[in-house]
Amino acid sequence: MATLANDAWESLLAAHAVLMKRFAAQDIWAEVSMREYDVLYTLSKCAEPVNLTELNRHVLLSQPALSRLVDRLAERGLVERCADPADGRGVRVSLTGGGRAVQRAIGRRHARGVARAMTAELSAGELAQLETICRKLAGEREVLPV
């Protein structure tokens, strides 16, 4: 069982690497990088501003890297910070109108690329099975406040 588990893990990582390279090659990343888009997309799912610790649970960045990235996005007017009422020293982050527009424009193009890549290799049944398996592996991780 250990060999099967490791083989499955290696296949998952290989698939992720191949798809991420394909997505990175898409001609849609002029305004923001893929990492910046990840933060914008995550914030787009939030009904209210979130603190950096909560945001960090949902992106693949270290806390210091996320803080620097949020600083850059704020300087460009794509996100805004506000005081955290629950923590006098804390900061909450949300999309600006401009950030939401950038996320939506890139998101539409990215979603088409993801759909093409996934449906080129997998049937509808396999896509549903993959989603079920991945959710199970992720432990149905908590969702952001909506």
The pLDDT of residue 124 is above 70: yes
The pLDDT of residue 144 is above 60: no
Extract the tokens encoding 142.
């908590």
The pLDDT of residue 85 is above 90: no
Q: Find where tokens 């693949």 sit.
A: 60
pTM for the complete prediction?
Answer: 0.85
- pLDDT score at 126: 96
Is residue 98 within 8 Å of residue 78, measured between CB atoms? yes
Candidates 71, 68, 76; CA nearest to 32 is 76
Distance, CA of 103 to CA of 99 (rounded, Å): 6
> E-assigned strands of the chain?
50-51, 79-84, 87-95
